[in-house]
Structure 1
């Protein structure tokens, strides 16, 4: 049996997205069919539309999603119809060399659904990040569907599936922020603000938000920033040093992924401080640093993949923090829209008018 649903498709590079009929199969072994309730509009979806990730057009977009299990395939025993889930774009295999070494967050063989979703003429769609959730229903590997408390509103909970997890995990999992630490976050979009929230939840004493947009800096204070720096008006490295008695921060997070923001984050660290890059750089981007500075300043330079998260562990925890009033996921939601509003949501994203638009189905 198959299901014909409405979904958002990027047909060709740079062209506006289209709402099309998409054919979703019943789940096979190890797969689940999910009725999508909400899905955030992430920059990654725009990158797919613009051909900046792969050229596997047409794409079925959407990946920051929450919904309910509608059907499960053979061999799926820990999920059932009606279960409320957040979708993850990494599902550890449990068997690769990283999983066997106890580092499943670096899994080298992450699971996706084996069956493709298609257009009615049989054209196979590439599901964005293996999910494709700008759709009334989607098909994913069972390991991608993480059961969470159904009390969480789907438009908020779904954001954990990408941007919130990436930023929170960059601070907590990759950066290992702790009580009393000082933190600087360069770039205060969804990922940067999630890093700020994570640092605040883990007891950072001083959290400095840095951006070129005053409105974004105002929002950063809502997520826990204790100080803000407008890097359009002042040198952010000097400003951070002035706020830290000339020393720099224990943890600097680059949530932009541009060579200049990487350099800024590198130099705003204290000696032996940590730099975490979570912003995704352009493929052609390069950075040059004096090797003596890399050596003499010590510390660590790390990249953060999906916040180095383990979805089965971290998603339920973050939902619980939301329900207990410790993590304001609702503050990430600037507006809700429909499948027909995705292209306009991309335009608002480019104009920096929203933190997150969320498609509600």
Structure 2
């Protein structure tokens, strides 16, 4: 039988979110119902609420989640009831051109649950990133459930479902940071600080954090930044070059995603260095660079989507590294809140008061 649970819904563009009664159907073939234990409040959820993703309202928000599988549908064998899982929005298909080439991290046909969750009146909900996890129980494709060590705290584990994995992966997977490399990260919110943590984990020699907020720069030092630059007061390109022997960084991660931050990243890298864009630009933004500079500086200009991660490979590894004391995921959790605290968490996010608010159920 279907279940009635509480969940956080964005009913209209820009309107405050509300806690509504949601109907969750029994899992069908290839699906699972997961009892959510914790879910981080990500900027992407705010983008959905403000109409920045699409206009398929109403949205069931939340996607950085961990919980326990309650039930599974026909044909599901990879997870069973009782498994502790992190939810992911890259349930790879295994048969598209990327998967068949051995590049499943670029899967072009990721899948979600076939059935819809609804409001009490039958209105279908659009789950954020195909998950919808600001809710007591959610329906997902079973492939969106990644089993990890249950010894990890749910409030910590769930953050790997999106922002923290995006930052870690931008450094480790896309940027391929190596031992003794020099790294600069522009933007020290959750994603940027995760990139800093990833660079430290990989053994980078110099890690330069760049932001306009001194509080965020202080956070960056706690995640492993060896130097900080307030770009409101100092030219970031000159500062990064000065801290890298005049050359520029081997890798520069743009965790903001604006034309001005991307230009800074481009000119702050060493010759043949790498730029990784992981901050999400809005559709109106345009970038202009002299083509001669793009050619003459060589190197790589990359975009990192979900940190180029494979959830089944990366989530368990990151959890194990955390449990070993090598990856301080707990530092990302600024506060824990209830379901009815999401709107206030959005306000704190906008003003930069928190790295992550986490809904705990």
Q: What interval of TM-score do these two structures reach, taking the shorter chain for normalisation?
A: over 0.9
What residue is the counterpart of 1:270 in the other structure?
A: 270
- Please give the residue correspondences for 1:2-21 in structure 2 after superposition, counting only pairs within 5 Å: 2-21=2-21
**1:77 match:** 77
- Equivalent residue, structure 2, for 1:150: 150
Please name the residue that 2:220 is paired with: 220
Tell me if 1:349 matches 2:329. Answer: no
Match of 1:130 in 2: 130
Q: How do 1:1-361 residues align onto structure 2 when only pairs under 5 Å count?
A: 1-361=1-361
In structure 2, what is the Cα distance between the partners aligned to 1:26 and 1:209? Answer: 47
Provide the rounded CA distance (Å) in 2 between the counterparts of 1:78 and 1:97: 23
C-alpha deviation, 1:245, in angstroms: 1.1
Aligned-partner Cα distance in 1 for 2:298–2:145: 40
How much has 1:138 moved relative to structure 2? 0.3
In 2, Cα distance between equivalents of 1:78 and 1:86:
14
Deviation at 1:78, TM superposition (A): 1.7
1:108 partner SS: coil
Whole-angstrom distance in 1 between the partners of 2:4 and 2:328: 35
Q: How far 1:253 moved relative to its partner?
A: 0.3
Instruction: Give the CA deviation at 1:26.
Output: 0.7
Task: Provide the rounded CA distance (Å) in 1 between the counterparts of 2:303 and 2:296.
Answer: 20
Equivalent position SS for 1:331:
helix
Helix, strand or coil at the partner of 2:288 = coil
* Cα deviation, residue 111, structure 1: 1.1
Partner of 2:274: helix, strand, or coil? strand
**Hey, what's the Cα distance between the residues in 1 that align with 2:355 and 2:309?**
22
Structure 2 distance, partners of 1:264, 1:91, is 34
How far does the alpha carbon of each residue in 1:208-265 deviate from its partner, in whole angstroms, 9 at most, with x for none? 0000000000000110100000001010000001111110000000000000000000
Work out the CA distance in 1 between the residues paired with 2:180 and 2:239.
Answer: 20
Secondary structure of residue in 1 paired with 2:118: coil
Distance in 1 between the 2:48 and 2:117 partners? 17
TM-score (norm 2): 1.00
Q: Secondary structure at the match of 1:34?
A: strand
Cα distance in 2 between the residues matched to 1:8 and 1:318? 28
**Cα distance in 2 between the residues matched to 1:54 and 1:3:** 28
1:155-185 Cα deviation digits (max 9, x unpaired): 0000000011100000000001000000000
Q: Distance in 2 between matches of 1:72 and 1:275?
A: 42
Q: How far apart, CA to CA, are the structure 2 residues paired with 1:226 and 1:215?
A: 16
Unaligned runs of 5+ in 1: none
Q: CA deviation at 1:285?
A: 0.4
Q: What SS does structure 1 have at the residue aligned with 2:270?
A: strand
How far does residue 92 in structure 1 lie from its aligned partner after superposition? 0.5
1:26-70 residue CA offsets vs partner (Å, 9 max, x unmatched): 100000000000000000000000000000000000000000000
- Separation in 1 of the partners of 2:232 and 2:89? 35
Output the CA distance in 2 between the equivalents of 1:245 and 1:175: 21
CA distance in 1, matches of 2:328, 2:26: 36
Cα distance per residue 1:96-149 (max 9 Å; x no partner) = 000000000100000100000000111000000000000000011111000000
How far does residue 190 in structure 1 lie from its aligned partner after superposition?
A: 0.3
**Cα distance in structure 2, aligned partners of 1:233 and 1:222:** 22
Q: What is the number of residues matched between the two proteins? A: 361
RMSD: 0.4
